[in-house]
Amino acid sequence: MTLGVNAHPRIAGGWGYAPGTFGELIQGEWLQVPFLVTLPIRWGARARFVPGAGPRVEVFPAYRHKARLAAELACRALGRPGGALALSSVLPLGKGLASSSADVVAAMRAVAAAYGARLTPAQMADMAARIEPSDGVMYPGIVAFDVMRGRLLEKLGPAPRALIVGILGPGRVNTVAHHQVRAPYTVSQQRRLMEAIAHLRMAAAAGDCEGIGRAGRISADVELERSPADGLLADVLTIADREKWGVVIAHSGTARGFLFSPEAAANGVVRRAETLLAGLNRGPINRFWTWSASIPVGGVFSESLESNAEETFYSG
């Protein structure tokens, strides 16, 4: 390339985005298959990938090893070389918001966009499961997902427009370690979780936030039965009983929250929920809107090292 007097070096590549999920609406086991049900939120991860010459991918920040592995798997799947990957995310680590899964999916989407290709959700799910137990954030909407094998089990419906008022409890949970020591679910617990799935199917089809919250409550009750020492979960469920609120929690994380429709959220209930959670004094309180609309999840960019980027988009 010949540079003129007014020309600046340019870099070009692909970018990808993936949402997190506020814990799991339902998590459990059925016929020895561990599963979870996603509730995608607007908080997420964004990746930018610039193709290189060799097979390896360099990632920034350097500690995002899972995203690097995902990018390298995507490069191999496409038969293309590696390059440089940069990640940014607002999802806190180890809280049950699918921070690692969002990194992984955003990285794969960025690689595919850079090479003018597409990876299907099924392809990304398969690659994600080779790295660690995965959430189903590569699929839009509410889905039931095989955590260990990376398989879509059922599309349960679009995510409704809803607000979660959540608390991020103390500590971090390692997803791999959690699933290695996870105790089997009893027959009674499995039956109750299947009832929750049945309730969720109807509620999601109707866009019924209260019904979705009731399904989440069934799963939260099962989780407390399995983890009776979880004082934060017990306190959150006590509040939910008193206020008649729906619940969504992280089963392999520390996030616990209340689910509200936009109409309910406009009636002052959000401030009350925040006040009650703050009174527990167990962690930061945040508002999380669900990812209920189609937004761009990838595209290409080209930028001068001394100018703003130009981007094009595609929606997933």
Answer whether residue 9 shows pLDDT above 90: no
The 3 state secondary structure assigned to the chain is CCCCCCCCCEEEEEEEEEEEECCECEEEEECCEEEEECCEEEEEEEEEEEECCCCCEEEECCCCHHHHHHHHHHHHHHCCCCEEEEEEECCCCCCCCCHHHHHHHHHHHHHHHHCCCCCCHHHHHHHHHHHCCCCCCCCCCEEEEECCCCEEEEEEECCCCCEEEEEECCCCCCHHHHHHHCCCCCHHHHHHHHHHHHHHHHHHHHCCHHHHHHHHHHHHHHHHHHCCCCHHHHHHHHHHHHHCCEEEECCCCCEEEEEECHHHHHHHHHHHHHHHHHCCCCCCEEEEEECCCCCEEEEEEEEECCCCCEEEEEEC
User: What does the pLDDT look like over 250-299, one tens digit per residue?
Assistant: 998 999 999 999 998 888 899 999 999 999 999 999 999 999 878 889 99
30 in a structural domain: yes
User: Structural domain of residue 290, as residue ranges?
Assistant: 10-315
pLDDT of residue 11: 81
pLDDT of residue 183: 83
User: What does the pLDDT look like over 37-68, one tens digit per residue?
Assistant: 999 999 999 999 999 988 899 999 999 999 99
1 in a structural domain: no
User: What does the pLDDT look like over 207-234, one tens digit per residue?
Assistant: 999 999 999 999 999 999 999 999 999 9
Confidence of residue 168 (pLDDT cuts 50, 70, 90): very high
185 in a structural domain: yes
Average pLDDT over the chain, rounded to an integer: 91
User: Which CATH number goes with the domain that contains 199?
Assistant: 3.30.230.120
233 in a structural domain: yes
The domain total for the chain is 1
4 in a structural domain: no
242 in a structural domain: yes
48 in a structural domain: yes
180 in a structural domain: yes
Kindly report whether the global pTM for this prediction surpasses the value 0.85: yes
